[in-house]
Amino acid sequence: MSDKDQSRPDPAGELQGADAALQHIVDGYLHFRHDVFPQQEELFKKLATAQSPRAMFITCADSRVAPELITHSAPGDLFVTRNVGNVVPPYGQMNGGVSTAIEYAVLALGVQHIIICGHSDCGAMRAVLNPHTLKKMPTVSAWLRHAEVARTVVEDNCNCSTEGESMQVLTEENVIAQLHHLRTHPSVASRMASGHLFIHGWVYSIETSEIRAYDSAQDRFLPLDGTFPTPSATPKGRF
């Protein structure tokens, strides 16, 4: 076989790889069905007709971020919404899944906490810094315009010397920007004003497991490690 032939894609091999990936997922389900579910059957019976989650968790679609694992939560604890870049569109701009989920979580489920969680090494944030990489992804490009305010803040004020430093600052600024967007939603603004809803901005480090949380009183991110009172992004209620 020539070098040219060797460089050609092997459809059969790719298909086998795809089959193996799916089988891994199916095997995982079977393990859940036969080994995990029986141990928690009573919990799932309670959840079969109702849910009362402790919090709404808005995070990135990145496969390395697992909200239930990170927070050691059980089924029914978190109402999770995931999208590219943990974005929250301002109210009225896009009647899409994120806005719908927020309204449902606040008004139908009565959640008391909404957490927006960014993370390290975020591909969406890297794309925000390098928009030319999205030429073939117009819908992603349009979606990430909701992070434009964070990019502008970083470009105008950071004086970052490396892309790694820019990424870290941008990830935090994006969380702050999405918190501001979140507060434009009428259901959120009303419940926050009455002191019945609390919002939080976190950044999770994949490599170290550390979470840093935004504290609005100090206007900075602090470790979520129990040393300090839990940082909060929520202004005091007015009513």
Report, as residue numbers or ranges, the catalytic residues: 60, 62, 64, 119, 122
DSSP the chain: --HHHHHS--HHHHHHHHHHHHHHHHHHHHHIIIIIGGGGHHHHHHHTS----SEEEEEE--TT--HHHHTTPPTTSEEEEEETTS--PPTTT--SHHHHHHHIIIIIS--SEEEEEEETT-HHHHHHH-GGGGTT-HHHHHHGGGGHHHHHHHHHH---SSHHHHHHHHHHHHHHHHHHHHTTSHHHHHHHHTT--EEEEEEE-TTT--EEEEETTTTEEEE-SSSSSPP--PPPP--
Tokens of 91: 């109210």
Contact between 205 and 120 (Cβ < 8 Å): yes
